[in-house]
Amino acid sequence: MSFIPMEKQHFVIYLSIGLLSLSLLTECDKIQLVGPSRCSGRVEIFHRDRWGTVCDDQWSLANADVACRELDCGTALEAKKAAFFGEGKNEIWLDDVHCTGTEASILKCPHRPIGENNCGHSEDAGVICSDHVKAINGSNRCNGRVEVYHNGRWNRVCNMEWQKKEAEVMCREINCGTPAVQTEVPHFGEANILGGLKINCFGNESSLSQCTIQEVKENCVDATTLCTHSKPIRLMNGTNRCSGRVEVYHDGQWGTICDDRWGMQEAAVACREMNCGNALSVKYKAFFGIGQDQVWLDDVECTGHEKSIAECPHRGFGEHDCDHSEDAGVVCSETVKLSNGTDACSGRLEVYHDGRWGKMCNNNWGPEEAAVVCRELYCGTPKKILENFGESALRGFTSRCSGNVSSIAQCGIEDFTGRCEGVSLSCEGSPQVRLVNGTDRCSGRVEVLHDGQWGTVCDDEWDIKDAQVVCRAMDCGTAQTAKSGSFFGQGQGSIWLDDVRCFGNETTLLHCRHPTLGENNCGHAEDAGVVCSATIRLINGTGQCSGRVELHHAGRWSPAYYINWGMSEAEVVCRMMNCGDPVKVSGSFGRGKETRGYKIKCGGRESSLTQCNLRDYMRTSSDRVEEAGVECSGNVRLADGHSRCVGRVEFYDKGEWGTVCGDAWDVNDATVVCRQLGCGRAHKISTMADYGHGTGQTWIEQIECNGLESTLTQCPQRPFRDKTCNVTSVAGVLCTGALEVRLANGKDECSGRVEVRHGEEWSTVCDTEWTHSKAAEVCTHLECGDVVSAPIGAHFSQGNGSVVEASNSCFDNATSIKQCSLRGFRSSTCGHEKDAGAVCAAKIQLVGGAGQCSGRVEVHYKGQWGTVCDDEWEMPNADVVCKQLGCGHAVSAPASAHFGRGSGPIWLDNVNCNGEESALTQCQHPGFGENNCGHGEDAGVVCLGALQKPQITLSPGPEVNWGDRVDITCTVLTEHLGGTFVLKRTPGTFKMEKYSENEAATFSFPSVDFPQKGSYFCEYQKRMASQVINYPQGNIAELSVIVKLETPSISLTSPHAMVVYSPDKISIKEGNSFSVTCSIHSRYPGGYFYLTKSNMNSTEPKPAFGHTIFYLASFEFPAVKYEHQGDYQCVYGVNVSAESFCSVPSKSLQVTVIVASSSSVVTGVLVGLVLVLLVVVAGYLLWRRQWRISDTLVQFTNRFGGGIKQDADERSNGAYDGRARNTQVSEPAQSQVPDDKNVDVDNSVERVPEDLAGRVCYELEPLVLS
């Protein structure tokens, strides 16, 4: 035995505590509230190193309660929707969150996969928590035992000095009105701690935290509260206190609840609120008689865990479409309930006696008493196995039953004062569901038991979630398919259920939402069925095709152990689960509770694990063997496309892959495939074998998805009824994940933030060079019609990831977009606040009318023409159609296929325009393809007549210099002269109007600036006596504002004889001095010159001086050194309207430095004298021309008596060289700013402001070194 020294023990303890704290911190750091206080705000989740929001779809008080508890913020007061606390940014991480209210974290609640949503930030969810106070163990959030957050923790409040003033403050703080008058103090349990808090208030405080709070050490009785806004309920006209018509108290009046969506979850909440036992049944159609006065609630949808009916989502008090013939009722157990169990038929037994609940002690408890309770709760017979569902602090009772009793209350119940060990009870449960006519016990037609009679279930709304409930209730593993169309034959007798809608986590089909039992509109040809996995299930995976393997063998579920577990075994599992091919095996899906399991060895061709070699294995507490897990490919894939997100649809079933018949293939089916593969949305479907016919069989069943399913297996499948499948028609799809460009975060896939793909990475596009024409290319590429606008400035919210430039080479046409997607886009320095967007509008046409301005409305979407349904089809809709087609105003909006029935898809329904939109698809509508219509409802329009688009011309042209005058003229050919021309620019809201009696109007910009660049178009309006005629929007004209800088000159000048000298190269002796002068003709003053050197990486700016249009600057070299040797060029930089521009460099001047020697001094002097004479002569000849040219002046100073040596070709350059003068458009240079740390500037030179244009022109070393 070895011992650890004390110091190391301390270290181990501290390290363990630190690691535990780290894990706690990580868990707690996954949620935050962004709002006015620590306990109210927009809910945000931390995932992948980024904070993101939660969508408000299905957002409820139960969800808010989990968030508040996770944040240690007490009870949820309100669950806020519609970005109540402002719109967030970045990702929307969670959607369709559906908490029961008991989870430890919002991330533990059921929800869509993280990052998958159909929301915008206008739907961000928020919460308001109670912050400092909460009511515990009450029937709802407005009553219970009081706890207060004090000194960093929650503590109970003692009832010493707890009076009306304190209760008033609390009720006000938690938005529950005022304290109710309590004729008797209800019992809300007791805190299991010693001491508590004593609180004294004046009564006018807004929070208990503002009252005087004093800690007390001695034991005390808990303070309780009951506030008036509790919205209490009552049960009327029943046989006892726990049955009857449900009524709720609101606004001083009792009212009933409509039975729409009324089910067992709602009944469970009502029974708990009434302090009754388990919910036994729900009642519909005013079973307990017709109520009076108001119908307060309708469409109530509880999870079953809320504290009161009023907390469940509903239409709103008084909002309903019912009458009292639909009053809802409930039957609860009056004297018995099972708590803390795994289902409604198991748990800790509690009984109601002498006005309060207590636990049943197992003294004198036997099989006869257990049978009475199970029978009373409609739960069959007691199970033989013993389970423990925990203890409670309630008082104890004993009971002994004899004779024929129907309720435990009929047995003798007595108080028990000794040590009481509570009874835990598990009942078998009634066989409420069975599977008939299947191939094994876990497949067949679904039948349910009601009123002692078996009946079938109609397949309306029948899907994989409903099948999951059936498979779980039958202990049959995982649901594989939901069958419809009496797949397992037609049943007999009643059809008990129709329109079943389960969440998937219910324990029985009768707990799912459904109409009244026996109410249906079906025949037995629509009987529903299921196929369950029977002998295998996957636990704790990311979907039904991954997880920990459990095998049903020898009458129980047991784990498969990760011992010699490989791809052969995984292949059998994936085949059994109908999940395609194995991808990988692992032991990373957690541990189950079972210790007894199997070691399994397969060959890979078996149809079931039970056919493999199974050997028992018992895991010990010290055993580190993991349980086996698999990840399968899934039962759908896309083949023969250019990426995994495009191709022929192949479906895996019965152990083989096959193609899907394309006869009934539609966009809903394709949407599910793309979602299942993680490929975004369906962009375009194919039914004509565009991706080949494939090999193997073709699945000829008709797949009928509604588009909301997460996998293709969840979609109903049924045989074709009136025809057989044409097997030459093969289903295919192009998902948005395979596109080179997409539009994100818009209302549909034809509007949104522009994102481009390179490989598997998506990037946003910078709006600096974004134009209307580039947005048009995106619209064309996506087959989304014409561009409407090109928004900038992250109009569709900021994206994430990298940002690329909107270069002309990549957005010139569809081919260039594809090429850049393959080779990569040019990276940009923009931030996401400059993300570019595009809004496209589908093309439309009018068919079947007298001309192009009347007929059936058809929309071109995804390469196919389709019609518009006439639901809500009004004149404003028709007006938009006429305007988009250039046909004036609408005269009428005919419905009911007035111009004949169309064919193909019905693209739009419930269109709602305000008349101001420029295109039909910009109006509000549910989405492309979303409709409930037939072609007998095709919409049409009759327009006033064809109108010409106004034309636009730019003068002097589409490209102008900054500061120039620009005239934009709008012209229209019309007989309606005397109208208003409107000039608009995109992006932005710019608009100018001008009335004209003629056919044209001119808009002028006297001095154009950069913000005025963009895409301009004209509109024309003519006001008549009874209407305004809006002409169609004119064509787009792009206006570019540029800065043109001349090419500067570089030259040398002698200081003694003013001689202009512009050589290409020159030699200078070391130690001599000279200066270089840069000059330019420019209309832009206030600039700086830079003298750049070839072998340096930064430069020093010099301010330019001069007047009118001629500017220059000199660079002095007082003592030439060898490091000054090199090629020099001049560059001119200037700031224009807060943007920086640089000229192209001048021609090069090559400077060679010659090392001087003492023996050549005399020779140098003589040569110098000769040169002086030559320079004087040359200078005289050039004297008269020096002020008329923009040259570089060079000064020679010979401090040491040395001359400047030149060869013959250098002297030939003494004349002015005009070859350097040219013109070039200069672009903003914003990416070449030199690092200040590398610049060593002579302090005698005037320092240049850091934001000057020249600073970004070149990154070269300074020439003048101190």
pLDDT digits (tens, 9 = 90+) for 857-914: 999 887 789 999 999 999 999 999 988 888 878 888 999 999 999 988 899 999 999 8
Average pLDDT over the chain reads 81
Identify the weakest region by mean pLDDT among 146-150, 1035-1039, 1098-1102: 1098-1102
Cα 699 from Cα 717, distance rounded (Å): 10
Instruction: Provide the residue type at 651 as one letter.
Output: F
Cα 1116 from Cα 1090, distance rounded (Å): 13
Q: Which of 471, 630, 499, 472 is nearest to 559 (CA)?
A: 630
pLDDT average, residue stretch 1185-1193 = 41
pLDDT average, residue stretch 745-774 = 88
pLDDT over threshold 50, residue 1236: no
Q: Can you give the pLDDT at residue 622?
A: 79
pLDDT over threshold 70, residue 21: no
Q: Which of 734, 746, 737, 736 is nearest to 775 (CA)?
A: 746
pLDDT over threshold 70, residue 1207: no
Split at pLDDT 50, 70, 90, the class of 769 is: confident
270: helix, strand or coil: helix
Strand partners, 1139: 1136
Distances (CA, A) of 951 to 85, 535, 983, 1000: 46, 73, 11, 9
Identify the weakest region by mean pLDDT among 266-275, 336-345, 503-512, 1212-1221: 1212-1221
What counts of helices (H) and strands (E) characterise the chain?
A: 13, 79
Q: Can you give the pLDDT at residue 755?
A: 93
C-alpha gyration radius of the chain: 41
Cα 1156 from Cα 1153, distance rounded (Å): 9
pLDDT over threshold 60, residue 16: no
- Token pair 């209407």 is found at 1027
pLDDT over threshold 90, residue 968: yes
pLDDT digits (tens, 9 = 90+) for 592-631: 777 889 999 999 888 889 899 999 998 887 788 888 999 9
Identify the weakest region by mean pLDDT among 146-155, 222-231, 947-956, 1093-1102: 1093-1102
Percentage with pLDDT > 70 across the chain: 86
pLDDT over threshold 70, residue 4: no
Q: Can you give the pLDDT at residue 1060?
A: 56
Per-residue tokens: 375: 């029978």
Q: Can you give the pLDDT at residue 10?
A: 45
Strand partners, 426: 346
Q: Which of 678, 1027, 1089, 1057 is nearest to 882 (CA)?
A: 1027
Q: Can you give the pLDDT at residue 230?
A: 62
337: helix, strand or coil: strand
Query: Can you give the length of the chain in residues?
Result: 1266
Identify the weakest region by mean pLDDT among 109-123, 597-611, 953-967, 1212-1226: 1212-1226
pLDDT over threshold 70, residue 42: yes
Split at pLDDT 50, 70, 90, the class of 508 is: confident
Cα 825 from Cα 807, distance rounded (Å): 9
Instruction: Provide the residue type at 973 as one letter.
Output: L
